[in-house]
Structure 1
Amino acid sequence: MQILTLGINHHTAPVEVREQVAFSPETIQPALHHLRDHLSSVSKSTLPEATILSTCNRTELYCAANDENQVVASDGLKNLTIDWLARSKGLDHSDLAPHVYVLPQSQAVRHAFRVACGLDSMVVGETQILGQMKDAVRSADEAGSLGTYLNQLFQKTFQVAKEVRGTTEIGAHSISMAAAAVRLAERIFESVSQQKVLFIGAGEMISLCATHFAARHPQLVAVANRTLERGQELADELAEQGLKTESFRLADLPQRLHEFDIVVSCTASSLPIIGLGMVESAIRARRHRPMVMVDLAVPRDIEPEIARLNDIYLYTVDDLGEIVQSGSDLRKAAIGQAEAIIETRVAHFMHWLETRGTVPLIQDLRQRGDHLKDFELERARRLLARGEDPALVLDQLAQGLTNKFLHGSLHALQHAQGEEREALMKILPQLFRANPSDK
């Protein structure tokens, strides 16, 4: 069995590339069906296992395929997967390939463990990625693409993440993306308490950001969302902290944008929801007072051209990444402990994977042994039924089983030559060595 991870993340590509290969939650399962159909149609073998993890910082494909699958040989699976990803996103293979990392076998296992523990995140030690991985596994399971090997990989992954977070302080000194957004705003405005803040979207990331901004007690907090009910729910939660809040529909954003000094956006939209023209109108209405815009979405919610406007300070997830890297010295000890745990668990998983490879052989040997046993027993029963001496029948039964048991090995040894014969002479004594408990 071959395991492969292929992906693109914040280490290998900027946000403008990552957003082109991102998958929205509702497209994950159809994409898994297409990927598996694509690989199996070329390999003419059983459907490979597959899982897609897509977040603002990464898009990764986890695959597992049988050794008999000729696609696995050499770089076949790698190239086929890159081709599929490029075509599914309307990109050229050559444009995408420089940003893609491909990790086979133990490297893929190690990577999954590190991702779940937050060691490969922009915010080292963050916990959100673990929930995102669990969502990805759930989607793969519902799509029928989570087989024995990937299921075992991810179950071990979640166990390792729990162990690392429970025995190290990997997240103790992390600066979250939400806290970084506040710091960026404070670079422009002396005090957030004097500003009006708008949150676009009402998901987990926006909720986290809203909590951090709420601690600064801004003058007003508003939530714009496609569904007014969810936006109002978040606004009500913030109001409980003594803040002045309101909510409105996203459709009203063009008429309301100019009212806010700080805008934080993170939606699941596949296209920008804030365009250049909308912001230019807002700036005129604000009489060119500065506006901070933080785009946490991938694909981006805010058109990148807006950054060229003199009165706009636009930041993306990559900009926030520069801030969250601070304090890395404080995390080095915890990271070292986490890496040590991961290396041990990788070795354990690879041992399991290797033993799984012997299962078909073991099953075949047992079937052959049962066949020989049944054959000799049936002959012994016939002899007993004819009245033959039981002692003689038992002796013949034992001799027949012994002959058949040794036949294959002795035949191979007698006909082997050179290195093959030397190898058999070394291994056969080990195979037929008496059990130490035997008397």
Structure 2
Amino acid sequence: FIGAGDMITLCATHFVARKPKSVAIANRTIERGQELADSISIQDVEAESFKLSELPGRLHEFDIIVSSTASSLPIIGLGMVESALKQRRHKPMVMIDLAVPRDFEPEISRLNDIYLYTVDDLGVMIQTGTSLRQAAVSQAEAIIEDRVGNFMHWMQGRKAVPLIQDIQQQGEYLRQLELDRAMKRLMRGDDPQEVLNAMAQGLTNKFLHGSLHALQHSNGAERDALIKLLPKLFASHSKPEDH
């Protein structure tokens, strides 16, 4: 870590909690750097500090470099990084520049084996993460809405179960009534065709009686509602087209 301000303190504390092999603080004043190193030290994590002027000779030691200083000019130059890469035999390095203005020269990002991230890059990552989370939330909301709709439909269907059962029982009662009547006529020797016609007519009359009675004795909004509803109820019984 380069610097010893609030940003570096926060980052170093978070990083140390993940138990890295070692941590180093490079700062202009060794006293402030050592103070930060002591404050973030935990068991099994070695934390040291050294003067910023020693960084060119030690940069190659570190896999990850995080910098946030108040310098008005870059403190990590292209040549310094190229030298560090040679000493590391081009083992990759991650560099995170949290300073404004920047602590790393922009040209460093063009080097192979260097992964340089700036405040702008981190902002894009955060925005992308936020967009992905928002998309996930929208998808979750759609799924929840669909499931809730299905559940409410099921609940409404459950409310209709007693009515459906009553209609089915009433239909079965009327069917059995007309069937018994027809069987008695057939047993008496009546013409089968006439018996079948009479049974069909009886079923039709009983089937339509309730709806026609309600329509004839309704008025106003109730009648309008029945006029809209009845065609839906009898749609499956529509007259077939002539061929």
TM-score norm. by structure 1 comes to 0.29
Aligned counterpart in structure 1 of residue 55 of structure 2, from 246, 249, 253 = 253
Alignment deviations for residues 376-428 of structure 1 (CA, whole Å, 9 cap, x no partner): xxxxxxxxxxxxxxxxxxxxxxxxxxxxxxxxxxxxxxxxxxxxxxxxxxxxx
How many angstroms does 1:322 deviate by? Answer: 1.8
How many angstroms does 1:204 deviate by? Answer: 0.6
How many angstroms does 1:200 deviate by? Answer: 0.1
Spell out structure 1 runs of 4+ moving beyond 6 A: none
What is the aligned partner in structure 1 of residue 206 from structure 2?
none
Say whether the 8 Å CA contact 2:76–2:104 is kept in structure 1: yes
CA RMSD of the aligned region, Å?
1.6
Letter in 2 for 1:206: I
Aligned counterpart in structure 2 of residue 296 of structure 1, from 86, 91, 98 = 98
SS class of match (1:269) = coil
CA distance in 2 between counterparts of 1:241 and 1:225 reads 23
Query: For residues 263-342 of structure 1, what are the structure 2 equivalents within 5 Å?
Result: 263-325=65-127, 326-327=129-130, 329=133
CA distance in 2 between counterparts of 1:209 and 1:239 reads 13
Query: For residues 125-136 of structure 1, what are the structure 2 equivalents within 5 Å?
Result: none
More helix by share: 2
SS class of match (1:224) = strand
How many angstroms does 1:241 deviate by? Answer: 5.1
How many angstroms does 1:323 deviate by? Answer: 2.1
What is the aligned partner in structure 2 of residue 70 from structure 1?
none
Letter in 2 for 1:291: M
Contiguous gaps of at least 5 residues in structure 2: 138-243
Alignment deviations for residues 228-262 of structure 1 (CA, whole Å, 9 cap, x no partner): 01100111112135411110000000000000000
Contiguous gaps of at least 5 residues in structure 1: 1-198, 334-439
What is the aligned partner in structure 2 of residue 336 from structure 1?
none
CA distance in 1 between counterparts of 2:33 and 2:87 reads 25
Q: In the alignment, is residue 236 of structure 1 matched against residue 38 of structure 2?
A: yes
Letter in 1 for 2:53: A
Query: For residues 167-178 of structure 1, what are the structure 2 equivalents within 5 Å?
Result: none
TM-score norm. by structure 2 comes to 0.52
How many angstroms does 1:280 deviate by? Answer: 0.5
CA distance in 1 between counterparts of 2:42 and 2:94 reads 25
Letter in 2 for 1:256: R
Percent of residue pairs bearing the same amino acid type: 72
What is the aligned partner in structure 2 of residue 186 from structure 1?
none
Count of equivalent residues: 133
Q: In the alignment, is residue 202 of structure 1 matched against residue 8 of structure 2?
A: no
How many angstroms does 1:219 deviate by? Answer: 0.8
Query: For residues 99-138 of structure 1, what are the structure 2 equivalents within 5 Å?
Result: none
Q: Which has the larger radius of gyration?
A: 2
Say whether the 8 Å CA contact 2:16–2:42 is kept in structure 1: no
CA distance in 2 between counterparts of 1:327 and 1:312 reads 27
Say whether the 8 Å CA contact 2:16–2:41 is kept in structure 1: no
CA distance in 1 between counterparts of 2:18 and 2:105 reads 28
Letter in 2 for 1:260: F
How many angstroms does 1:222 deviate by? Answer: 0.2
Alignment deviations for residues 77-134 of structure 1 (CA, whole Å, 9 cap, x no partner): xxxxxxxxxxxxxxxxxxxxxxxxxxxxxxxxxxxxxxxxxxxxxxxxxxxxxxxxxx
What is the aligned partner in structure 2 of residue 215 from structure 1?
17
